[in-house]
Amino acid sequence: MEFQKDISEEVVVALRRIVRAIDLHSRRLAQEFGLTGPQVILLRELVRHREMCVGELAKNVSLSHATVTDILNRLEKRGLIERIRSLVDRRQIMVTPTEQAILLVEKSPPLLHEQFSERLQALNDWEINQILSVLQRVGSMMDAQEVEASPLLATGSITADSEMVEVVTRTQAGQATDAGDEDVETNPRPRTVVHPSAAT
């Protein structure tokens, strides 16, 4: 029994280290760049394509249309993206990154899930399948089968700015901070920019 207890404790410690590593990486992004993992993913995709509609962007990053729209609203509020009416189809709104966003993307480090995926692909197929099986079993033991998750290794809400981003922003503005504060704005009204050449 003592042996089994020791093993159980080692398993829990290993899980806590994984969670801690994810949390530290998320906080580093927030502290150094003022961005969350999902925001970086969207900005990178936009910089790569320069102009995309929301549906195409959501498909490319494997997130729901509603989630991407919420993230874009926050990025637009910070001046990192613009919504421009398509010159081809006036009914369609295209999303473009601003110069500030391009500079941020150039400076941003590799995301944790990208590093992990690269190392995972270097393993043998049987090792990858074994890891997947074990993690799925652990998730089942924690009753996490129905928990919504995105294909990102990041802590905090996918759509809302993380607490650390809020704290860093207020600190830079010279305001008092409170680690318990939450971002209460959930869905700011999007601003549509009409391309000058599209005006009639």
Longest dimension (CA), the chain: 79
Q: pTM to 2 decimals? A: 0.60
∠25-30-35 over CA atoms, to 5°?
110
In sequence order, what DSSP letters do the residues of 109-130 get, joined into one string? PPPHHHHHHHHHHTS-HHHHHH
Strand 93-97 vs strand 52-53: parallel, antiparallel, or unpaired? Answer: antiparallel
For position 82, what pLDDT does the model report? 94
For position 110, what pLDDT does the model report? 75
Which domains, ranges and CATH numbers included, belong to the chain? Answer: 2-198 (1.10.10.10)
For position 161, what pLDDT does the model report? 52
pLDDT digit string, tens, across residues 105-119: 888 777 777 788 888
**Ranges of the chain with pLDDT below 70:** 1-5, 147-200
| 89, two tokens | 């189809």
For position 171, what pLDDT does the model report? 39
Give the whole-angstrom CA distance, residue 101 versus residue 34.
Answer: 12
For position 80, what pLDDT does the model report? 93
Give the count of beta carbons closer than 10 Å to the beta carbon of residue 175.
Answer: 9
Give the whole-angstrom CA distance, residue 26 versus residue 165.
Answer: 10
Q: Which residues of 17-37 are buried (b: 16+ CB within 10 A; e: fewer)?
A: eeeeebeebbbebbeebbbbb
For position 127, what pLDDT does the model report? 94
The enclosing H or E element of 73 equals helix 65-77
For position 165, what pLDDT does the model report? 43
